[in-house]
Chains A and B, each alone.
Chain A
Amino acid sequence: MLGLFIAQVLNGLLDGTYYLLIALGLSLIFSLGGIINLAHGAFFAIGAYLALVITPYAGFFGALILVPLIVAGLGMLTERLLFTRFYRIDPLYSLLLTFGLAMVIEQGLRWIFGASPQSYNMPDVLRGQVFLGDFIYSRYRIFLIAVAALAVAGLWVLLNRTSFGRIVRAGVQNPEIVGALGISLRPYLSVVAGIAIGLAGLAGVLLSPIYTVHPAMGAEIITLAFVVVVIGGLGSFWGVIIAAVLVGLTKGVLVAVGLSSWSTAAIYLLMFLVLLVRPRGLLGERILRFE
């Protein structure tokens, strides 16, 4: 019984990874441009559908590389055409914009591919299970977690160890000073939106072999991703990671002890408690211009 409990805790820890890629992107777009991207889940769905289209030609691993790049391109385009008009005005407008965009994308997918869910399989090499003593785990999920961890590590290096990252972080705190130094933030905003939305696309490819590919899949995942961002604290890299782990753990443990019907409610309760004690989230930074 103890073995099972430990297995559940481990699984819960890993479970958080699935929202992590989406939550990190959400947090990134918000902290730099102040835009709450409700269409983030829709880009996740685009990623999954693109995987469906590209896999027959390039295989799963080809799709794993191509799809995030294409989705990132779409993200940069979206930033250029739409987001730029909303950086300086009330966030309510960008909420409406991205909410509308999410619906347009979802209906677009329904229009092109039909409402019926599509079948998508994992590659044969990743099929099967791994046994670690009493703990059984899917080989595919270990691969998924490894890819996600790699992407997150890459993002961390980019933001913390490169000149690109230094300007982005300075832009988050004080865009005026960055401007005064003669650096235009606009290309940085585009690239950051591209990376953030590309991560959602990557999540789309990674999750389509184990979830159902259907037009509303983005709406399905976005709420939980938001909860993760809110718990972790908007703009905080590590906060989002800790929150993702906490959310996965809460779910896993409640299922393990037989309270599965509470597993979703408990996550919102967790958010409520965190906000009660720390209104900015666990590691939320004080961002002057949003105060």
Chain B
Amino acid sequence: MTTENTTRRGFLRTGAAGVALGVAAPAYLRAQAAPLKIGHLTPTTGFLGPLGEYAQMGIKLAVEHVNANGGAGGRQIELIMEDSVNPQTASTKAERMFERDQVEMIIGEISSASCLTISQVAARYGKCFINTGGNSDSLRGQDCNRYMFHVETQNSMYVNAEGEFFRSQDMVDGKNWYTMTADYAFGHDLLSAAKAFLDANGGVLVGDDLVPTDATDFSSYLLKIRQAQPDVVALNLAGTQITNFLKQYGEFGLDFTLGGFGFDTVSAWAAGAQNFSGTWPNVWNHLVPNDASQAFVQAFTDAYGKPPENQAWGDYNAGLIMARAVAEAGDAGGDTLVAYLESDEAQFDLMKNRKGYFRPSDHQLIQEIYAITALPAGEAQNQWDIFTTSEPLPGADQPLETLAQSVTGGTCTL
């Protein structure tokens, strides 16, 4: 698909989304079909709020594009969005969306704990829940669920991608690693995946500090890291803690190779070109050089005045995937959609080189991901393009499931 349009209207006219996904339907269907109600839940306040804001922008744009191209199998999508706040509230709101609003599915989330509670409600109603931001391995392992699908990549896959990158730089075997781990489920999850990777590849963990979730100052930790003189410093942190760390890492003049196992582009942008450093894994970023990605970046920038963050990619693509699923399966019932999404024909264009598919055994979207590397401070042209993106991982010569082979989180029985 090649689109050269520079305006959103142009983008819509060509029907880029529709062409890519084949959701357009004959006009006679459009007239009579009932709207397809989709619920969207994601945290828009609290420490995940910045990502939630991008998630909402992404899903809104997806719905706009799908509707402009004839809807999902002829049905116009009606979007109901709410702040999921926390796991308990997320569960209550999911219940209300299925019960009162009669939504056919729920898309969204970033917090893995909220993913779990929403997925339980969805399973009770026999409707699909599409996770666009929860990384936890156990959601794909012991907590997996027949009606839950994961567009977001899981922790182990990020660890394996980031680890592969460092291995290609000869920074793993026999090298000393120092990790900083957020002291809650997300961080511990990443740490165990990171330990598994280091053990398997000869890396040595010389230090790990558990960081309380409300810590904002890292000076004490930085003094310790400086004393330890590791080869690589790797973060299992999230959100503003990554940004704070990046700013203070530069402030204290540390220059050990830096990276991390969980990351969102918003943390890099918040740190700014002056402070952003290291190499970080990413499900997608706005510099991925292909026509579909750049058309999306253009449409998003036209709509919101800034390029999309990886979270916007997640919710936008989840919207398109589910619109196509409803069109192809001919029905939005939970079991019908599960059967379709698990089938062989459910291959999705994800604005990446290779198409992706949901692995039937755990419903993880198997896809290429990326590693981004900070540009030296002086080389950034603007506040957004402050890094370069790697080629898709795994490389073209390796099977797509390479990164998802060794994962933690228990066994999934659907």
Give complex CA distance A127, B45 in Å: 33
Residues of A within 8 A of B240 (CB): 117, 212, 214, 220
A11-B220, A255-B221 as given contacts; A210 in contact with B251, CB under 8 Å: yes
Which listed residue (B220, B221, B270, B383) contacts A212, Cβ 8 A? B270
Contact B244 A8 (CB under 8 A): no
A18-B217, A128-B253, A211-B216 as given contacts; A120 in contact with B224, CB under 8 Å: no
What 0/1 pattern do residues 52 to 94 of B give for CB contact below 8 A with A?
1110000000000000000000000000000000000000000
A121-B272, A214-B270, A261-B212 as given contacts; A256 in contact with B247, CB under 8 Å: no
Kindly identify, within residues 244 to 267 of chain B, every residue whose CB is under 8 Å from any CB belonging to chain A.
244, 247-248, 251-253, 266-267
Task: Classify chain A's interface size.
Answer: 35 or more
Q: Tell me, yes or no, whether A151 is within 8 Å of chain B by CB.
A: no
Give complex CA distance A251, B217 in Å: 10
Q: Tell me, yes or no, whether A184 is within 8 Å of chain B by CB.
A: no
Q: Tell me, yes or no, whether A160 is within 8 Å of chain B by CB.
A: no
Contact B215 A138 (CB under 8 A): no
Contact A116 B252 (CB under 8 A): no
Contact A114 B209 (CB under 8 A): no
* Residue of chain A at shortest CB distance from B247: A210
Q: Tell me, yes or no, whether B206 is within 8 Å of chain A by CB.
A: no
Which listed residue (A4, A209, A220, A261) contacts B223, Cβ 8 A? A4
Contact A255 B251 (CB under 8 A): no
What 0/1 pattern do residues 7 to 42 of A give for CB contact below 8 A with B?
110011001001000000000000000000000000
Kindly identify, within residues 222 to 270 of chain A, every residue whose CB is under 8 Å from any CB belonging to chain B.
223-224, 251-252, 255-256, 258, 260-261, 263-265
Residues of B within 8 A of A150 (CB): none
How many residues does chain B have at the interface if contact means C-beta atoms less than 8 Å apart? 43
Expressed in whole angstroms, the minimum distance between the Cβ of B326 and any Cβ of chain A is 30
Give complex CA distance A50, B383 in Å: 19
Contact A220 B214 (CB under 8 A): yes
Contact A115 B274 (CB under 8 A): no
Give complex CA distance A215, B240 in Å: 11
Give complex CA distance A214, B239 in Å: 11
Contact B253 A136 (CB under 8 A): yes
Q: Tell me, yes or no, whether A110 is within 8 Å of chain B by CB.
A: yes
Contact B210 A261 (CB under 8 A): yes
Give complex CA distance A214, B272 in Å: 14
Give complex CA distance A115, B253 in Å: 29
* Residue of chain A at shortest CB distance from B223: A7
Contact A119 B53 (CB under 8 A): no
Give complex CA distance A251, B219 in Å: 11
Residues of B within 8 A of A216 (CB): 45-47, 49
Q: Tell me, yes or no, whether B196 is within 8 Å of chain A by CB.
A: no
Give complex CA distance A223, B45 in Å: 18
Kindly identify, within residues 81 to 119 of chain A, every residue whose CB is under 8 Å from any CB belonging to chain B.
110, 114-119
Expressed in whole angstroms, the minimum distance between the Cβ of B183 and any Cβ of chain A is 5
Q: Tell me, yes or no, whether B167 is within 8 Å of chain A by CB.
A: no
Contact A255 B270 (CB under 8 A): no
Contact A116 B266 (CB under 8 A): yes
* Residue of chain A at shortest CB distance from B246: A212
Contact A212 B244 (CB under 8 A): yes
Give complex CA distance A114, B56 in Å: 13
Contact B219 A136 (CB under 8 A): no
Contact A260 B210 (CB under 8 A): yes
A115-B49, A116-B270, A128-B253 as given contacts; A136 in contact with B223, CB under 8 Å: yes
Contact A115 B44 (CB under 8 A): yes
- Interface on A for B, CB 8 Å cutoff? 4, 7-8, 11-12, 15, 18, 110, 114-122, 127-129, 136-138, 140-141, 209-216, 220-221, 223-224, 251-252, 255-256, 258, 260-261, 263-265
| A-B pairs with beta carbons under 8 Å apart, 16 shown | A8-B223, A11-B223, A115-B53, A119-B269, A119-B383, A211-B217, A212-B270, A214-B240, A220-B240, A251-B217, A255-B224, A256-B220, A258-B209, A260-B209, A260-B220, A263-B212
